[in-house]
């Protein structure tokens, strides 16, 4: 049995481990996740229900004489972790327990929360001792959101628009797939007899086509609020992998998810600066929630251990892809790690490659994410998609520079360079490839970007005195830009700002800041850290970039060497 502190830490690690910076985090707690986390405690307790153990630990921490007391959960612990995440997870678990047809109201929600906390369900309203949201649980949500931003992630929990759902919207906004949703998805997979090894976004496009046949809550996940599409797609993909691993049953088994699954890879693109040769490499993506110390794959005739590169990603594999592997995908068996089967590069009709989010000047492009507003990207696609892509350009939704450029000699693949989304008016446009539209259509109306200054490697921070410029990308002409210093909640900058134009901000001292842009009822936030010189350390390079220049010779940094010299 685990105590509250252990559960709190384990939940934070599960929802952030293996996740790349800039991703939006949903605290989507469900029984299966609690079972998976519980088994990682390695306690010799037989037949324990870890979801029940989690609820017991929270009850022991927050209920005193049949009343809820959250005062001891405010703020962060000695390790810098927010102390209230386990209680917030109980709140999300209550939202996940609501059935599809149930009205979203305070009475229905708090009835579910009371049941989890072992309090009388015959009464209405908030549990005894739980004050109005602004005084009790809302500060816990703010602390969680601030910690996520300071760690390089995007928060997703937010208030409702008013009325009696103002505060219960925090946990409801975190609830993704419920048990009834999963069973209906399994029915859909079986009806359609889907067997392909699709990645998350490809599967999501196929499921969206069937949205009108699905229950209300699941249909809303597939059609409303594009910001959460990626999180929903990942959740659906997990159900799909489990369904396949269990032999495609009619109902997904409850309990711990101990089935074998795949690691999926994207593409990593390099271009020779002298000869212009383009190569693509498999780029393995880490599995969210899995703290994996060692993974080895069968790589040709040898074993290859995957090496951590950055949050969310392993280093690219060393051998570039050939046209057949790009066309049909490829698979590398995993030879050392339980419950993982293969590293899979899926077969796709297109890939979106964006500049390195940590350093856009390197010239390296990869499939890190969907392109944010204001980001120019490379679209790698099969030629048969060009009519759809030209349609998007004719409708002034997408633009690019130059003509499509062939990739590999006499192949069916082309690259479009300097692509950029230039409009929000996508809803009335229909093209043959729905997956392409889903991938390109922007999920937000505003985004914040930092550029210039001196970045501190591996810290998601800038040096004091060499601050970044702030640009708000969007389709509004102006936005309200506000920058707040976190430690004393003091606004240091507040004015109307033109979009798509860099602005210089004087971050007066080192510390943590939140940059917020607001317009037309839409808002977005990003965290920025300013550090002084004393925080700098020597970073050991993770790998050396080697550029071949002639037979047997290469450039590494400022040094020209031969392969024989290296050996």
> Higher pLDDT residue, 228 or 283?
283
Average pLDDT of the segment spanning 62-89? 95
Cα–Cα distance, 519 to 330 (Å, whole number): 45
Of the candidate ranges 90-94, 105-109, 166-170, 491-495, the one whose mean pLDDT is the lowest: 105-109
Sign of CA dihedral 439, 441, 443, 446: positive
Cα–Cα distance, 565 to 561 (Å, whole number): 6
Q: Which two tokens stand for residue 409?
A: 């000699």
Identify the pLDDT of residue 456: 84
* SS3 labels along 145-214: HHHHHHCCCECCCCCCCCHHHCCCHHHHCCCCCCHHHHHHHHHHHHHHCCCCCCCHHHHHHHHHCCHHHC
Sheet holding 469-474, edge to edge: 446-451, 469-474, 503-504
The answer to whether residue 548 scores a pLDDT higher than 80 is no
Taking only the tens place, the pLDDT of each residue in 177-211 is 888 888 899 999 999 999 888 888 889 989 999 99
Is residue 566 very low, low, confident or very high in pLDDT (cuts 50, 70, 90)? very low
Cα–Cα distance, 402 to 391 (Å, whole number): 16
The answer to whether residue 216 scores a pLDDT higher than 50 is yes
Q: How many helices (H) and strands (E) does the chain have?
A: 15, 27
Is residue 102 very low, low, confident or very high in pLDDT (cuts 50, 70, 90)? low
Place of tokens 């519980």: 38
- Our CA angle for 562, 566, 567, nearest 5°, is 120
Identify the pLDDT of residue 351: 96
* SS3 labels along 369-432: CCCCCCCCEEEEEEHHHHHHHHHHHHCCCEEEEEEEEEECCCCCEEEEEEEEECCCCCCCCCCC
The answer to whether residue 460 scores a pLDDT higher than 90 is no
> Higher pLDDT residue, 545 or 261?
261
The answer to whether residue 442 scores a pLDDT higher than 80 is yes
The proportion of the chain whose per-residue pLDDT surpasses 90, expressed as a percent, equals: 48
Closest listed residue to residue 357, CA positions, set 369, 342, 345: 369
Identify the pLDDT of residue 392: 95
Average pLDDT of the segment spanning 40-64? 86
Identify the pLDDT of residue 104: 74
The answer to whether residue 541 scores a pLDDT higher than 70 is no
- pTM, full prediction: 0.84
Give yes or no for a contact between 348 and 377, defined as CB atoms under 8 angstroms apart: no
268 sits in the region (left: phi over 0; alpha: psi -120 to 50; else beta) called: beta
Q: Phi first, then psi: what are they for 472, rounded to 5°?
A: -105, 115
Q: In a 10 Å sphere around its CB, with 0-12 CB exposed, 13-18 middle and 19+ buried, how is residue 301 labelled? A: exposed
Average pLDDT of the segment spanning 126-139? 88
Average pLDDT of the segment spanning 149-170? 87
- When computed from its CA atoms, the radius of gyration of the chain, rounded to whole angstroms, is 25
Of the candidate ranges 22-26, 327-331, 355-359, the one whose mean pLDDT is the lowest: 355-359
Is residue 340 very low, low, confident or very high in pLDDT (cuts 50, 70, 90)? confident
User: Which domains, ranges and CATH numbers included, belong to the chain?
Assistant: 4-172 (no CATH), 179-245 (no CATH), 260-347 (no CATH), 350-432 (no CATH), 446-535 (2.60.40.3080)
Estimate to the nearest angstrom the gap between the alpha carbon of 196 and the chain centroid: 23
Taking only the tens place, the pLDDT of each residue in 363-404 is 789 998 888 888 899 999 999 999 999 999 999 999 999 999
Average pLDDT of the segment spanning 312-326? 93
Say how many residues make up the chain.
567
Identify the pLDDT of residue 542: 55
> Higher pLDDT residue, 562 or 323?
323
The answer to whether residue 259 scores a pLDDT higher than 80 is no
Give start and end residues of each alpha helix (H) in 246-378. 323-328
Average pLDDT of the segment spanning 483-499? 90
> Higher pLDDT residue, 376 or 251?
376
* Residue 397: Cβ within 10 Å count: 19
Identify the pLDDT of residue 250: 77
Closest listed residue to residue 228, CA positions, set 370, 97, 357: 370
The answer to whether residue 477 scores a pLDDT higher than 70 is yes
Of the candidate ranges 216-220, 361-365, 416-420, the one whose mean pLDDT is the lowest: 361-365
> How far, in Å, are 117, 124, 301, 480, 566 from residue 114 at the CA level?
5, 10, 58, 41, 67
Average pLDDT of the segment spanning 509-514? 90
Average pLDDT of the segment spanning 116-130? 87
The answer to whether residue 282 scores a pLDDT higher than 70 is yes
Of the candidate ranges 66-80, 229-243, 355-369, the one whose mean pLDDT is the lowest: 355-369
Give yes or no for a contact between 321 and 280, defined as CB atoms under 8 angstroms apart: yes
Is residue 515 very low, low, confident or very high in pLDDT (cuts 50, 70, 90)? very high
- Average pLDDT, rounded, for the chain: 87
53 sits in the region (left: phi over 0; alpha: psi -120 to 50; else beta) called: alpha
Estimate to the nearest angstrom the gap between the alpha carbon of 106 and the chain centroid: 30
């Amino acid at each position: 049995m685990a105590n509250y502190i252990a559960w709190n830490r384990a939940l934070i690690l599960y929802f952030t481990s293996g996740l790349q910076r800039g991703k939006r985090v949903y605290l989507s707690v469900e029984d299966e996740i609690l079972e998976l986390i519980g088994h990682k405690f390695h306690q010799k307790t037989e037949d324990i229900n870890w979801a029940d153990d989690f609820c017991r630990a929270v009850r022991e921490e927050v209920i005193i004489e049949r009343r809820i007391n959250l005062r001891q959960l405010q703020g962060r612990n000695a390790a810098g972790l927010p102390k209230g995440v386990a209680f917030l997870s109980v709140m999300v678990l209550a939202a996940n327990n609501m059935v599809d047809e149930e009205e979203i109201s305070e009475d229905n929600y708090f009835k579910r929360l009371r049941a989890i906390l072992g309090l009388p369900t015959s009464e209405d309203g908030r549990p005894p001792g739980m004050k109005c949201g602004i005084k009790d649980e809302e500060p816990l949500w703010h602390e969680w959101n601030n910690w996520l931003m300071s760690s390089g992630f995007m928060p997703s929990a937010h208030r409702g628009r008013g009325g009696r759902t103002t505060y219960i919207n925090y946990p409801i906004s975190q609830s993704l797939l419920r048990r009834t949703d999963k069973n209906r998805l399994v029915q859909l997979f079986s009806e359609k007899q889907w067997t392909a090894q699709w990645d998350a976004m490809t599967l999501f496009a196929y499921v969206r086509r069937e949205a009108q046949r699905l229950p209300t809550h699941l249909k809303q996940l597939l059609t409303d609020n594009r910001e959460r599409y990626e999180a929903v797609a990942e959740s659906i993909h997990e159900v799909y992998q489990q369904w396949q691993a269990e032999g495609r049953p009619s109902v997904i088994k409850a309990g711990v998810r101990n089935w074998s699954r795949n690691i999926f890879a994207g593409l990593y693109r390099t271009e020779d600066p002298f000869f212009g040769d383009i190569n693509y490499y498999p780029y393995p993506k880490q599995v969210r929630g899995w703290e994996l110390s060692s993974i080895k794959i069968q790589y040709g005739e040898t074993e290859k251990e995957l090496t951590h590169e950055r949050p969310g990603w392993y280093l690219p594999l060393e051998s570039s892809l050939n046209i057949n592997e790009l066309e049909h995908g490829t698979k590398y068996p995993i030879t050392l790690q339980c419950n993982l089967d293969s590293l899979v590069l899926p077969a796709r009709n297109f890939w979106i490659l964006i500049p390195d989010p940590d350093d856009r000047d390197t010239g390296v492009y990869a499939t890190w994410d969907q392109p944010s507003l204001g980001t120019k990207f490379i679209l790698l696609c099969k030629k048969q998609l060009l009519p759809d892509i030209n349609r998007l350009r004719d409708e002034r939704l997408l633009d690019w520079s130059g003509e499509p450029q062939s990739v590999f000699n006499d192949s069916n693949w082309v690259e479009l360079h300097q692509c950029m989304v230039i409009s929000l008016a996508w809803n009335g446009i229909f093209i043959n490839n729905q997956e392409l539209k889903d991938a390109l259509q922007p999920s937000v109306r505003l985004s914040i970007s930092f550029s210039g200054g001196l970045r501190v490697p591996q810290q998601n921070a800038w040096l004091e005195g060499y601050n970044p410029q702030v640009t708000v990308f969007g389709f509004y002409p102006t936005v309200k830009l506000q920058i707040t210093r976190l430690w004393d909640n003091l606004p240091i900058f507040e004015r109307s700002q033109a979009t798509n134009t860099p602005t210089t901000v004087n971050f007066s001292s080192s510390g943590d800041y939140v940059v917020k842009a607001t317009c037309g009822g839409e808002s977005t936030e990003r965290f920025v850290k300013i550090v002084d010189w004393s925080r700098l350390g020597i970073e050991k390079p993770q790998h050396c970039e080697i550029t071949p220049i002639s037979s047997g010779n290469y450039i590494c940094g400022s040094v020209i060497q031969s392969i024989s010299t290296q050996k």
